[in-house]
Amino acid sequence: MGIKSREIVARAGVDVNALIKLLNQAFCDEWLSYYQYWIGAQVAVGQLAPALIPELKEHAAEELEHAEKIAKRLAQLDAEPVLSPADWLEHSTCGYAAPMNPDAVEILLQNLHSERCAIEVYEHILNLVKGKDLVTEHVIREILEDEVEHETELQNMNPCCDCENE
């Protein structure tokens, strides 16, 4: 555990407890996103499904990597991630959208909405640590870049014409 890392972040003017709370919320979001992508890939049907399923599987793997990066950063800050899956929804910012309708377009739209939420979450964390906590800033920038890429990839697959409202 990283007591010194925590001290450095606090000296830089970041509320470490608030940062840990935000990182844990993002950690929960990532696990829920992982499952949302993974289960969507299992149940997706329809004309878009053959193209969407590999994308969902790829995104699921990347969401899991994000959870790992956040867990590592929490440990460096002498904190632990939310330990029980039963608590993920409670601590999540973006929540979980079960694919109740297995149509691939509906699953795509659910995940597009989730990616946009994730972008907002990481932008908020980045603004909190920018120029103060360079390690967290680096981790969050990497994750944010992936989330923006995910949104773009999903948006490019979206057969909807008026996608601003999705």
Domain that residue 80 falls in: 3-165
Q: How far apart are the first and last CA of the chain?
A: 42
Per-residue pLDDT band at 161 (split at 50, 70, 90):
low
Q: pTM score, two decimals? A: 0.93
Domain count, the chain: 1
Encode burial over 114-130: b for 16+ CB neighbours within 10 A, e otherwise: bbbbbbebbeebbebbe
* CATH of residue 115: 1.20.1260.10
Q: Which of 25, 14, 115 is nearest to 67 (CA)?
A: 25
pLDDT above 90 for 76: yes
Q: Do residues 99 and 43 touch, judged by C-beta distance below 8 A? A: yes
Per-residue pLDDT band at 135 (split at 50, 70, 90):
very high
CA distance 133 to 114: 26
Instruction: Tell me what the mean pLDDT of segment 74-92 comes to.
Output: 96
Per-residue pLDDT band at 160 (split at 50, 70, 90):
confident
